A and B are shown apart, each in its own frame.
Chain A
Amino acid sequence: MSASTVLLLSYFLLAIFVLAFVIRTLKLARLPVHLRWELSPVPHEKGKGEYGGSYLEEVDWWTKPREKDLVSEAIYMFKEILFLKALFEHNRKLWWFSYPFHFGLYLLTAAAGLMVLGGVASVAGMTVGEWALVDRGLPLLAGVGYGLGAIGAVGLFFLRWTDDGMRNSTAPATFINLLVLLAMFVTGLWAVFSVSGFAGHTMGFAGGLLTASLPPQIPGIVSAHLLFALIFLAYLPFTQMMHFVAKYFTYHEVRWDDEPVTAGSKLDRELKKLLNQPVTWAAPHIRADGKKTWVDIATDTGRPEESAK
């Protein structure tokens, strides 16, 4: 494949990724307001988490001042993101493979960051190849990341395949995703171990993308792997792997959204709008006909004489 084809293909894949990622994220952010439920404790409740309390304990809690503790929330998020704490507590069997898998991806993200940084610095005329952080750090981060990712992907594939409970709740696409990622990890490992000057070549690729001119001496396996990584990036926004973005909304907009519904507020208006939507749910006990709204259904006593009033 010629350098110009690789370049065009790379831009095309990156454009798909950026566009699809933004659209999918906006869609997630604009989902209808969730069911209001009082879940506690919420990590940002100041002074409450230390003893397991919540301001939801207070009588008429929505009328009282609520102080936020963002440090406490950040600590919770840090533990969740870095260690997958909830998975460790609730599904230890899955955590043993999910953790190396995700940590491998974090290391690869850091390696990609270094690659782009190095590419930018090279384009700016700096001799980045002499920086130990980049020259040694990039292959080290990438090698460990690919290795951990591969171990995790293989383990997750077999665990989900052999465990009856997990197999029943695993979509076929999840198995495909794991295989795609495994292929990326393996080609990455191959590139790191078989090519001398891995850091220089990958940074050359990144710099080439910035200047629209790929260096001619990039080894085939490095180009192939980076292209494969870009294909994966373009595929990512169309899969359930977008859960890393969705998780932000799951926590901040659902689990931890403790904004009370006060009369006339934006939340109140949004909820009223939803309640006035016609219901098409087919479950017989709902008795929806496509015309009745949620309000009609919720206030329907089932007695014709009362409903008619």
Chain B
Amino acid sequence: MKKKILIVDDEPDIVSYLEMVLQDSGFETMTAGNGNEAMEAVKRERPDLVTLDITMPEASGTRFYKELRTDPDLSTIPVIIVTAVTGLGGDKYAYEKFISNRRLVPAPEAFFPKPIDREAFVEAVKGLLAA
């Protein structure tokens, strides 16, 4: 059976691209446009992995990540953060360092700054879903 991946992003172009990349690699995909929709989808569909954007309307990726990680039933679902958020001097990995240092939530399983390195991204997804 195909593994299910939830793509959470408010940019339709990014969603289409990630859908294409993941479907081409043999995964089933579903999508959500913000943190609230994503939480509903996770509860309803129980995906095997989530790719998560951070800056989104209604409910941000940061808030969704907290809700997911603090829910005992959902906290083990692997999350790959895919974001264009940068830090001082355009540091593309600043958000990864930032979220990995929070007391309430653990570090995400993987992190990719936009634009993503397609091969490395697919490798990471396969690696996480094989584990």
Contacts and interface: CB of A to CB of B under 8 A. Distances in A.
Given A51-B66, A90-B88, A57 B99 contact: no
Interface string B49-69: 000000001111011011001
Interface in A32-63: 49-54, 57, 59
Contacts of A57: 59-60, 62-63
A53 B63 contact: yes
Contact of A51 (B88, B89, B105): B105
A52 B89 contact: no
Interface residues of A, number: 9
B98 interface: yes
B104 A51 contact: yes
Nearest to B105: A51
A279 B104 CA distance: 48
Nearest to A56: B60
A90 B94 CA distance: 10
Interface string A156-193: 00000000000000000000000000000000000000
Given A90-B88, A90-B89, A52 B59 contact: no
Contacts of A59: 57-58
B103 interface: yes
Contacts of B57: 59
Contacts of A52: 62, 65-66, 98-99, 102, 105
A51 B58 contact: no
5 contacts: A51-B70, A51-B103, A51-B105, A52-B105, A90-B88
Interface of B: 57-60, 62-63, 65-66, 69-70, 88-89, 98-99, 102-105
